[in-house]
């Protein structure tokens, strides 16, 4: 999942080298922590949060395919 998040987010941002993805499991749920350059936060979130929602939709579908759930957190 880390690699997928990295691929998706690097396409969106101006500073792909500053994309960091960290995974951890909390009570059986995969939590993905995403850090990007501060100037790229808006690009990852999108107008009205649409880009973040699109990321969560795709990641959720991938996780469900494996019988899991996941949560994307965009870290300040």
Partner 1 sequence: MKDRVFSGPDVPTALAEAAAALGQPETELRYVVLDAGSVGGRGLQPTPARVAVLLEDQPPAGADRPEPWSPPPDARAGIRGTVRAVAEAAGIDVSAEIAEGEERVVVHLRGPDHAFFFGREGRGDVLRATEHLLQRSYGAEFLPRPLRVECEGFQERRDRALAEEARDLARAVLADGQARTTEPLNAYERRVVHVALNHEPGVTTYSVGEGAARRVTVAPAEEKPPLVAEAGEDPPST
Distance, in Å, from the CA atom of 12 to the CA atom of 43, rounded to the nearest integer, reads 6
Considering only residues 5 through 64, tell me which ones interact with partner 1, judged by CB under 8 A. Answer: 6-8, 10-12, 16-17, 19-22, 33, 35, 43, 46, 48, 50-51, 53-55, 57-58, 61-62, 64
Distance, in Å, from the CA atom of 3 to the CA atom of 20, rounded to the nearest integer, reads 10
The dihedral through the CA atoms of 37, 43, 48, 51 has a sign that is negative
Nearer to partner 1, 17 or 28 (CB): 17
- Of 72, 76, 75, which is closest to residue 4 (Cα–Cα)? 72
At its nearest, how many Å lie between partner 1 and the CB of residue 46? 7
For binding to partner 1 (CB under 8 A), which residues are involved?
1, 3-4, 6-8, 10-12, 16-17, 19-22, 33, 35, 43, 46, 48, 50-51, 53-55, 57-58, 61-62, 64-66
């Amino acid at each position: 999942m880390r690699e997928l998040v990295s691929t998706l987010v690097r396409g969106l941002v101006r500073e792909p080298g500053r994309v960091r993805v960290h995974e951890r499991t909390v009570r059986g749920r995969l939590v993905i922590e995403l850090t990007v350059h501060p100037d790229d936060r808006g690009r990852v979130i999108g107008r009205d949060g649409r880009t973040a929602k699109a990321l969560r939709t795709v990641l959720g579908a991938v996780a469900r395919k494996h019988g899991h759930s996941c949560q994307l957190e965009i870290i300040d």
